[in-house]
Amino acid sequence: MINKFENKIRSISDWPQKGVNFRDITPVLQDKKMFRDLINELAKPYLKKKIDIVVAIDARGFLLAAPVAYKLGAGVALVRKKGKLPYKTISTKYDLEYASNILEMHRDAILPGQRVLLVDDVLATGGTMEASIKLAKQLGGKIIGAAFFIELKALNGKKKLKNCPITSLVKY
């Protein structure tokens, strides 16, 4: 059965580099009914999980994490690329699908003991999420789960995140 979101996700060949088939979610975001359903379905598994704070990953993750936090009545904590956060930070290096980079969080972004949900658009190799979980734990957060819109199964990102419950809405 084709998931209702699948027809709206646009495949872009060879972007951002040759050999990559990029899944463009912007047609889903632009459709008001589809966007509403997307946020509701991302949030659904966590409605009764007493999430305190949703970790939003720079930059496409912001688009999903912030409305999921709003829906759950939680706050938002940012994971950003190096140099984007103005206050005192903690950082970690990570490998992603086509490069490597440094991610940061503000030192006060999560309070010790807070119940944390992480949200991102795509689970690829899992490197970005693994690094984000590491940062959230370092701040004392209790990781409740990670929610993705899309999971690229062939890249086996779940393996890297084995101690974190994962939910995703569309699998390729």
Residue 3 region by backbone torsions, left for phi larger than 0, else alpha for psi between -120 and 50, else beta: beta
Nearer to a copy of itself, 76 or 155 (CB): 76
97 is catalytic: yes
Residue 113 touching a copy of itself (CB under 8 A)? no
Residue 31 touching a copy of itself (CB under 8 A)? yes
Chain CA centroid to CA 103, Å = 13
115 is catalytic: no
Segment 59-88, which members bind a copy of itself (CB under 8 A)?
59-60, 62-64, 66-67, 69-71, 73-78, 80, 84-87
Q: Within 10 Å of residue 59's Cβ, how many Cβ atoms?
A: 11
Q: Residue 146 in contact with residue 118, Cβ under 8 Å?
A: yes
Nearer to a copy of itself, 71 or 160 (CB): 71
Catalytic residue among 97, 104, 130, 151: 97
Q: Residue 40 in contact with residue 5, Cβ under 8 Å?
A: no
88: Cβ–Cβ under 8 A, 6 or more apart, which residues? Answer: 106, 107, 108
Chain CA centroid to CA 115, Å = 16
Instruction: Choose the stretch contacting a copy of itself; rule: CB under 8 A; options: 7-15, 93-101, 120-128, 155-163.
Output: 7-15
Q: Which residue ranges make up the site for a copy of itself (CB under 8 A)?
A: 10, 12, 15-16, 22, 24, 26-27, 29-32, 34-36, 39, 52-53, 56, 58-60, 62-64, 66-67, 69-71, 73-78, 80, 84-87, 106, 108-110
